[in-house]
Amino acid sequence: MLIIRRDRAMTAVSLMLDIAFHAGRSGTVSAAEIAERLGLARRGMEPLLQALSRAGLLDSVRGPRGGYRLGRPQRDIRLAEIVAVALTDDDEAAHGPGGRLQSAVIDRLWRELDDGVREKLQGLTLDDLLRRAAAAGLRRPAAEPITFAI
């Protein structure tokens, strides 16, 4: 259930937003930079970054200036896709209480809530979140100037 495993889903959305904000489609962001900004352990977020890469939401770039960048334009990446990858790749099944009341009432309620959350996520893109960041006064970093040395 989406609501129960929201931490992993929120982390995936945060990773994608950080990459969109700091690198966009053209530049790359290292896992170390992402981990530092988000206050996450690099080792703990790598499997999620790899899952997002396997799904085509991120491109992984090797080399000294390597890192991660968006796999598609930000306007084409829906939050529902990001969350689906995070939850599909999650091996931990959420187990809660059992019983007749649980299955007849609580499980049904949670499915309704999950459906509402999924519907909302389907209507939002990374581009929408970047517009919210701009409205909050956050400025994206300027691209590094190109320098030539002979």
CATH number of 6-135: 1.10.10.10
The whole-model pTM stands at 0.81
Residue 21, pLDDT above cutoff 80 = yes
* Mean pLDDT (whole number) for 100-122: 89
Residue 125 DSSP symbol: B
* Residue 38: C-alpha distances to residues 42, 49, 59, 62, 112 (Å): 10, 14, 20, 22, 31
Q: Which residue has the higher pLDDT, 9 or 2?
A: 9
How sure is the predictor about 31, in pLDDT bands with cuts at 50, 70 and 90?
very high
Question: Which pLDDT score is estimated for 91?
Answer: 47
**Mean predicted confidence (pLDDT) in 113-119:** 90
pLDDT attached to residue 27 = 86
How far apart are the C-alpha atoms of 28 and 15, rounded to whole Å?
A: 13
Triad 100, 103, 109: Cα angle to 5°: 130
- At 39-94, the pLDDT tens digits run 999 998 999 999 999 999 999 999 888 899 999 999 999 999 999 999 885 444 55
| Confidence at 17, pLDDT banded by 50, 70, 90 | very high
Q: What is the 3-state secondary structure (H, E, C) of 28-84?
A: CECHHHHHHHHCCCHHHHHHHHHHHHHCCCEEEECCCCCEEEECCCHHHCEHHHHHH
Residue ranges of the domains in the chain? Answer: 6-135
User: What confidence score (pLDDT) does residue 144 get?
Assistant: 55
* Long-range contacts, 35-43 (Cβ 8 Å, 24+): 38/11, 38/14, 40/11
